[in-house]
């Protein structure tokens, strides 16, 4: 390494990379492809965020702070990455429709529960729901997506029922990889804010874990997280839904922020997450 990385940072990077490399190798991504993306990210962040106040960022400065040649910096800065906007937009649209279905009184019964909706005939229809909460997406396309991931079902009378208030495309690898990018990025941003806050209010960041649990204890804990975690997210969703200006155009306020909360469960055999550095690593030559 050109510059020695402090041990805590190096340790953190390796913990992240072990998980990431596992996904990359499983999806056939070579080191050369990963290296190209990493270099592009270095140049992009350096260009946009590490300039000198009052001066225009230069290729020479980016070359110095990234360790890449000026020629390489120029080449990478002119490149566009293949961002997965299709899967991200599909995720956002589906989530907005579900949120509207569970929070907007026009699509809920007197008890506040999501109603079964006819597709396009009636006072409150699925088509109306999509038009309000999903922009220019067609109602049929949104319904097909929600049916595909098991979030909705069509009843015998033809009405559409919401059976899950969470859009998680478990059977869709591209969709899950898109979520990997957004959710992990948010977590890293939160930790970065708390590291560099310099007096600012830290963001909420908590975790509970134990490292000597029997297998028999996990099933019950998974169920607890599934039920209570979902209840908390639904409560927070209702609060944010009332403040979102896409849903409430007359809502005032200044600036525009993205904010939210993520809850996740983790489980792995002890030792897999933090392997012993002294352990001999074998393999075929």
DSSP state of 2: -
Token pair recorded at residue 233: 């997210």
CB atoms within 10 A of CB 152: 24
Integer Cα distance of 133 and 246 in angstroms: 8
pTM for this one? 0.67
| Residue 160 exposure: Cα atoms within 13 Å on the Cβ side | 27
Angle at which helices 31-49 and 70-77 cross, to 10°: 90
Q: Are 237 and 166 in contact (CB under 8 A)?
A: no
pLDDT in tens, the chain (285 residues): 445 678 889 999 999 999 999 988 988 889 998 999 999 999 999 999 999 989 999 999 999 999 999 999 999 998 877 555 555 667 778 888 998 999 898 999 999 899 999 999 888 999 999 998 887 788 998 998 898 888 899 999 999 999 988 777 666 666 677 778 888 999 999 999 999 876 678 999 999 999 999 999 999 999 999 999 999 998 998 899 889 988 888 888 999 999 999 999 999 888 765 555 555 555 554
> Which residues, listed in sequence order, are joined to residue 108 by a DSSP beta bridge?
114
Cα dihedral 257, 258, 260, 264, rounded to 10, equals -150
């Amino acid at each position: 390494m050109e510059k020695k990385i402090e041990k805590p940072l190096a340790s953190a990077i390796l913990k992240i990379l072990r998980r990431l490399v596992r996904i990359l190798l499983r999806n056939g991504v070579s080191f050369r492809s990963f290296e190209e993306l990493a270099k592009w990210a270095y140049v992009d962040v350096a260009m946009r965020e590490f300039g000198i106040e009052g001066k225009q960022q230069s290729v020479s400065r980016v070359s110095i702070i990234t360790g890449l040649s000026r020629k390489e910096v120029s080449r990478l800065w002119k490149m566009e990455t293949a961002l997965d906007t299709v899967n991200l937009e599909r995720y956002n649209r589906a989530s907005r429709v579900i949120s509207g279905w569970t929070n907007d009184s026009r699509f809920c019964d007197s008890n506040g529960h999501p109603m079964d909706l006819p597709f396009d005939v009636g006072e409150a229809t699925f088509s109306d729901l999509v038009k309000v909460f999903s922009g220019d997406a067609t109602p049929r396309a949104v319904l097909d997506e929600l049916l595909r991931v098991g979030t909705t079902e069509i009843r015998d009378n033809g009405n559409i029922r919401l059976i899950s208030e969470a859009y998680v495309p478990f059977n869709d690898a591209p969709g899950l990889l898109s979520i990997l990018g957004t959710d992990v990025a948010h977590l890293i941003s939160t930790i970065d804010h708390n590291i560099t806050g310099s007096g600012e209010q830290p963001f909420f960041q908590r975790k509970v874990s134990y490292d000597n649990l029997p297998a028999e204890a996990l099933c019950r804990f998974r169920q607890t997280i599934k039920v209570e975690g979902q209840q908390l997210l639904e409560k927070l969703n209702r609060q944010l839904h009332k403040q979102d200006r896409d849903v409430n155009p007359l809502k005032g306020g200044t600036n525009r922020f993205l904010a939210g909360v993520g809850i996740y469960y983790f489980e792995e055999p002890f030792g897999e997450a933090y392997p012993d550095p002294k352990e001999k690593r074998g393999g075929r030559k």
